[in-house]
Structure 1
Amino acid sequence: MTNRLQVGMSFDRTFPPAFVTEAARALDAGGAQQLWVIEDCFYTAGPSLAAAALSVTEQLTVGVGILPAVARTAPVTAMEIATLCGLGPGRVLPGIGHGVQEWMAQMGVRPVSPLTALEEVLVAVRRLLAGDEVTSHGHYVDLDAVRLEHPPADPPPVLAGVFGPKSLELAGRVAGGLVLAEPASPSYVRWAMKQAGRTPGDPDFHLATFGVLCVKKDRVEAYRTMAPWLAEQLQEPRTPYTSLPFFDDLAARFADKGVDGLATMPSEWWTELAPVGTIDDAAEHLRGLEEAGVQSVGLFPLRDVEAARTQLAEVVELARR
């Protein structure tokens, strides 16, 4: 694997905040390239976790996936990102998305048009990070001569964390890249980039993905471990699944044989879907992502801190291949 693909761990939203510095130090010392922190309502805050991780590392890039567009005002979001860039110059990959609309409604900030809100926020944040003075009187972003006092010297690409066709098209026009939620297969990546109107490997459009990591010495054990998770996902399949070239066969197999059918499905299906199986299977999945133009990968461990500690070594091994 070349050095173009940057590999790291995703910090699950359920993990205690204090674990982020331990994980960041281990990844940095081991030679992994990235750590992705997750901001979901109402768990832990992305910028706080990112600041903690940046402060205890020297080389690690920290991604933030993702900040809901309307949870903060655009200037505050830009300030958060600029502050992180000051703590770790060149080591920040921020993502902004719609946020789960039910959560936005709970907070009283649900926009009538999530697409319009996201576009206005992305445009304003990118301009502010570039050091521009911004005046904007949109539907959701209303600014009067706002300028950051400490914009980053080298602004990071602001990634859009989206998955629908209209949102992907918007991202291709106004974002600095994409962050695609798990499970991001190579086939899903190619589909998403087509919707965005972007060419894989575009140097001006940073492509990041998330995946679920399960590595065992016996790949069958890994498949059995992850089959219930996949069965749950297939109850209401989203585009990461429907874009799979074998989706119809997968759905038919699940309908006929249930979880056992997923545990025994062809190995190449699992390898396409996620870094699941042996360590070599996981590496093959990452090679497929790299060939599809992915530049950054965040791997989710199991939702258990002790298990995640073990999986840190696996992430490091994959990052160093």
Structure 2
Amino acid sequence: MSTRRASIGMCFDRTFEPSKVTEFARRLEAGGADQLWVIEDCFYTAGISLAASALAVTERLTVGIGILPAVARNAAITAMEIATLCRLAPDRVLPGIGHGVQSWMRQMGVRPASPLTALEEVLTAVRRLLAGEEVTVDGRYVRLDRVALDQSPATPPPLLAGVRGPKSLAVAGRAAGGIVLAEPASPSYVRAAIEQAGSPVDFHVAAFSFLCIEQDRTTAYRRMAPWLASQLADPSPGLTVLSFFPDLLDLFTRDGVDGLGTMPPEWWRELGPVGTFEDAVAHIEELEDAGVHSIGLFPPADVEAASAMVEDVLRLAAR
């Protein structure tokens, strides 16, 4: 049994009709879930407006933002937006900032020559502004002249960095108050990410996972095999860190998607809350033991299926 109890929530897929966010937020709060995570990807739905809508119809639910691209907004405007949310709903906002997909940044004409430098400068400036400081900085990407927020948060939230690789995680350890780890965020990857961030104290770790609970494991594994195949096409650090990754890749190369459905249960349990309800609970407890504070569970990209999955999220939150 884990000694750490993570906050359990659900992710709101970027493709969902924006008006649905209030419905999901109300159901999650009424059922006892802890969080709702809204996803900002270019050029889908926007994180700040979704978060404000969810916060406005709830009283207890925490809303996470995963993630705001660092260079899509001026750092002062990003801080203003986050501070406004925090004033509207004190202690219920978990903002995340990341590099953003660089091809999308190029489309918008804001791709930085050094994404690492840009992210660190933005994180540092936004964090200082949220802390109530007057900020003057003449950086490579952030230039501010005596900027201070008129209404900074009474209690600044941990500013999370949505990053993957070791260099970006090192930036997060220096400049952020925590991290958001995209799916698949296994316990092994969580431990490696915290170490690469320098194991800071008071560091909030959020992890996203695809959720698939069925009456029997075989059905769940077959449902999730195409998703895993898509991840193996361009493996992220969340996969390559796994001790069994070479064997997993060999299995996929030899037997394709069908082979993934026959993977050992312990591989699936490491990858995510996939299988029976008990398997999902075991995965969550292993994430808690690895140091995770918040878990955002991803539904299928179908709003009806996601609506049905709310009940599984609530069961896990009440475990």
TM-score clears 0.5? yes
What's 1:37 paired with? 38
Cα deviation, 1:255-311, whole Å, max 9, x if unaligned, reads 111111110110010000011111111111100100000000000001111001100
1:2 offset after TM fit, Å? 5.9
1:296 is the counterpart of 2:294: yes
Measure, in 1, the Cα distance between the counterparts of 2:287 and 2:4.
13
Match of 2:140 in 1: 139
Distance 2:43 2:286 in 1: 34
Runs of 4+ in 1 over 2 A off after TM superposition: 1-4
Q: Give a deviation string over 1:5-26, Cα, whole Å, max 9, x none.
A: 0000011101110110000000
Letter in 2 for 1:212: F
Uncovered stretches (5+) of structure 2, i.e. residues with no partner: none
Counterpart of 1:210 in structure 2: which amino acid? Answer: F
The partner residue of 1:277 within 268, 271, 275 is 275
Summarize the alignment of residues 46-85 of structure 1 with structure 2, pairs less than 5 Å apart: 46-85=47-86
Is 1:234 aligned to 2:235, yes or no? no
> What residue in structure 1 maps to residue 266 of structure 2?
268
Tell me the distance in 1 between the aligned counterparts of 2:183 and 2:111. Answer: 24
What 5-or-longer segments of structure 1 have no aligned partner? none
Kindly provide the amino acid, as one letter, of the partner of residue 240 in structure 1.
Answer: G
| Residue identity in the other structure for 2:22 | T
User: CA–CA distance in 2 between the matches of 1:188 and 1:2?
Assistant: 20
* Corresponding position of 2:26: 25
**Cα-to-partner distance string for 1:183-235 (whole Å, 9 max, x where unaligned):** 10000111111111116xx4x11000000011111111010001011111111
Partner of 1:210: 208
Q: How far did 1:249 drift?
A: 1.0
> Normalized against structure 1, the TM-score is what?
0.97
* Structure 2 CA distance for aligned equivalents of residues 268 and 3 of structure 1: 22
1:219 aligns with 217
The residue identity in structure 2 corresponding to 1:10 is: C
TM-score by length of 2: 0.98
- In structure 2, the partner of 1:173 is 174
% same residue: 68
Partner of 2:205: helix, strand, or coil?
strand
Aligned to 1:190: 191
1:97 match: 98
Q: Is the 8 A contact 2:4 2:288 kept in 1?
A: no
Q: Tell me if structure 1 keeps the 8 A contact 2:4–2:289.
A: no
Residue 156, structure 1, aligned to residue 157, structure 2 = yes
8 Å contact kept, 2:3–2:289: no
- State the SS of the aligned residue for 1:310: helix
CA distance in 2, matches of 1:142, 1:3: 40
The DSSP-based 3-state class of the residue aligned with 1:136 is: strand
Q: C-alpha deviations, 1:26-49, integer Å up to 9, x for none?
A: 000000000000000000100000
1:4 to partner: Cα distance: 2.7
**Equivalences, count:** 318
How far apart in 2 are the matches of 1:244 and 1:106?
34
CA distance in 2, matches of 1:48, 1:66: 13
Distance in 1 between residues matched to 2:241 and 2:158, nearest whole Å:
26
> Cα RMSD over matched residues?
1.0
Distance 2:198 2:88 in 1: 34
